Structures are given as structure tokens and as C-alpha cells.
Structure 1
């Protein structure tokens, strides 16, 4: 589904991603792990084309996309759920979801699946997005991404700052999207238990480079202690 070859990204003179090569299989969840500041969010921004300077090859479903602007990548099938959610506070739940339609490649309509996965949103379509709790806004961000009808979803720490009960709902939604509907996902996550439950593969980042990758069964406690312990 997704292949990166010798990808580098820069913030000014800072070399944020260093020769990253990674293959993301179709229909699987790949967890991107590592301490804060190690390049995980930069990887997602690079995939979306929002970095000012990057080099290397990025292929989506066999097609090179590294030279394409962000809107072309979105219409090609990539949806991004950013850290912080970036909900438009004055827009209603309905309007926020429909924003995903204009970024993506499907009809301008709320996907029934989004409302099925998140009943709270279905019951509160006319509420302003800004009055929702953090967990409800995260559900809204996921629903907005689904409205783009993506073939690849990028998730940047979807559980950050969210109450445990909503984390369970988000986990259930991610699992269902992947297991039942075959959605390919790249998941940046600090919660190791969560990553082990939902992901089939992982890549460990340190100082902008992948230091270990493989099936999730190879994500040992020793590896976590070495690269994620503070």
C-alpha cells in the first residue's frame, strides 16, 4: 500500500527524518513508536506533503506521490487525523465531518459508517464542534477522515489526553475499520499496550531514523525499555 525509500525531511537546517525506508502492507495497522521529538509526527506530515523540504521516494499503491501537493495526496486516498484534532470550533459536528468530503475523493455526504461507529456524533450533528469534549472531538476527527473515503489513514496519537472510556470506543472503531473493512493505517502512538492490541507491525524511531521494525510480536519489553524509557 505504502512504500518509503530513503526519505529525508528538514525543518530549516534541522535534519528531522534521516533516510527512512518503510513498507506498510495493505490492510494492516503499522504503529510508529518512539520518544517525543524523534520524528514520528514529521513522518506523517511528510506523507501528507506538508513539509517545506523533503527528499526520497514515496509510493502509494504503486504510484509515486512524493512530488504531489497535499490536496492531491488527499484526493489520492490519504486521510490525516492530526495530533490536537484541529476541529473547527464554530462549525457544527455535521459541517466538520463534511469538510472531509471536500478534501477527499467521495460524495459530499456523511458516511453512514461514521455515524454507526460514533453514536454520540449521530445524536449531536448540530452541536458546535468547539463544545465537545476532547474525546468527542477525537471521534469527530476520525469521522471527518472517514468522509474522505481514504484507502490509507494516518493517526497521530489518537488517545492523547482522552478519558479511558472514550479510548475504548476509539480502539473499537480502529479495530473495526481495520479488521472488518480492511482500512490500512499508520498509527503514531505512545501507549504501548494500545499499539500491541491494534497494530500488526511496528517501526521504532530514534533521532529521525528507524532503529527497529517488524511484526508486532517482535516488540519486546527490552526494545521498549531501550528506545522509549525516560
Structure 2
């Protein structure tokens, strides 16, 4: 589905990703793990083509996309749920969700699945996005990404700062989107237990490089201690 070959990324003179090669299998959830500052978010931005300079090859379904600007990558089928959600506070829930349709491949309408997954949003379409809680805004960001009808969804720490009850709802939505609808996902996550529950593969980052990767069963406590213990 998504393949990176010898990718290097830079913020100015800062070498953030170094010779990263990674295969994201179709219809699976791949967890991107590591301590803060190790290149996980940079990987997602590199895939999306935003806020970073990069070299190397990125392929989506066998097609090179590394030379495309961000909006063309979105139309090719990549959706991004960023850390911090980036909800437009003065827009209604409905308007925020529909922003995904303008960025992606879908029609200018909210897909029924988005409202089915997140009943709170369905019942509050006219509320301003800025008055929602952190967890509700995360649901809104996921619904917005779904409206783009993506082939691949990039999720940057979707559980950060969210109350446990909403984390369960988000986990259920991610699991259903992957297992029932076959949506490919790249999940940046600090919560190892969550990653083990939802992901089928993982890649561990350290100082901008992949130091270990494989099926999620290979994400042992020893691997976690080796690369994420402080």
C-alpha cells in the first residue's frame, strides 16, 4: 500500500529522518513507536508532504508521490489526523467535517459512517467546534478525515490528553475502520498497550531511524524497555 525507500527528511539543517525504509501493508494498522523527539511525527509529515523537506522515494499503491504537493497527496488517498486536531473553533461541527471533503477524494457530503461511529457529532452538527471537549474534537478530526474517503489514514497520537471513556470509543472506531472496512492506518502512539491491541505491525524509531520493526507480536517488553524506557 505505502512504501518508503531511503527517505531522509530535514527541518532546515536539522536531519530529522535518516535513511528510513518502511513498508505499510494494505488493510493493516502499523504503529510508529518511540520516545518523544525521535522522528515519529516527522514521518507522518513526510508522508503528507507538509512542513518538511525530504529525499528518497515514497510510493502509494506503486505510484511515486514524493514529488507531489500536499493537496495532491490528499486527493491520491492520504488523510492526516494531526496531533492537536486543528479544529476550526468558529466553524460548526458540520462545517469542520466537510473540510475533509474539500481536501480529499470524496463528495461534498458527510458519509453516514462518520456519524454512525460518532453519535455525539451526529447530534451536535451545529455546535461550534471550539466548544467541544478534547475527546469530542478528536472524534471530529477523525470524522473529517473519513470524509476525504482515504486509502490511508495517518493518526498522530489520537489518545493524547483524552479521558479514558472517549479513548475506548476512539479505539473502537479505529478497530472497526480497519477490521470491518479494511482502512490502512499509520498510528503514532506512546501507549504500548493500545498499540498492541489495534496494530498488526510496528516500527520503533530512535534518533530518526528505524531500530526495530516487524509484526506486533515481536513488540516484546524487552523491545519496549530497550528503546522507550527513560
Q: Compute the TM-score of the two structures, normalised by the length of structure 1.
A: 0.99
Report what 1:23 is aligned to.
23
2: CA distance, partners of 1:12 / 1:108: 37
**Is residue 29–residue 184 contact of structure 1 (8 Å, CA) maintained in 2?**
yes
Return structure 1 stretches of 4+ with deviation > 6 angstroms.
none
**Is residue 9–residue 51 contact of structure 1 (8 Å, CA) maintained in 2?**
no
Matches within 5 A, 1:125-140: 125-140=125-140
2: CA distance, partners of 1:202 / 1:100: 27
Report what 1:227 is aligned to.
227
Q: How many residues align?
A: 230
1: CA distance, partners of 2:151 / 2:130: 28
1: CA distance, partners of 2:195 / 2:155: 12
Report what 2:155 is aligned to.
155
**Is residue 17–residue 209 contact of structure 1 (8 Å, CA) maintained in 2?**
yes
Q: Secondary structure at the match of 1:87?
A: coil
Cα gap change, 1:100 to 1:217, in 2 (>3 Å): same
Report what 2:122 is aligned to.
122
**Is residue 45–residue 52 contact of structure 2 (8 Å, CA) maintained in 1?**
no
Report what 2:57 is aligned to.
57
Matches within 5 A, 1:1-230: 1-230=1-230
1: CA distance, partners of 2:31 / 2:164: 20
Shift, 1:86, TM fit? 0.3
2: CA distance, partners of 1:104 / 1:14: 31
2: CA distance, partners of 1:13 / 1:95: 38
Shift, 1:52, TM fit? 3.8
**Is residue 111–residue 147 contact of structure 1 (8 Å, CA) maintained in 2?**
yes
Q: Secondary structure at the match of 2:224?
A: helix
Unaligned runs of 5+ in 1: none
Shift, 1:106, TM fit? 1.0
Shift, 1:226, TM fit? 0.8
**Is residue 30–residue 202 contact of structure 2 (8 Å, CA) maintained in 1?**
yes
2: CA distance, partners of 1:156 / 1:229: 20
Instruction: Tell me how large the CA RMSD over aligned residues is.
Output: 0.4
Q: Secondary structure at the match of 2:149?
A: coil
2: CA distance, partners of 1:208 / 1:51: 16
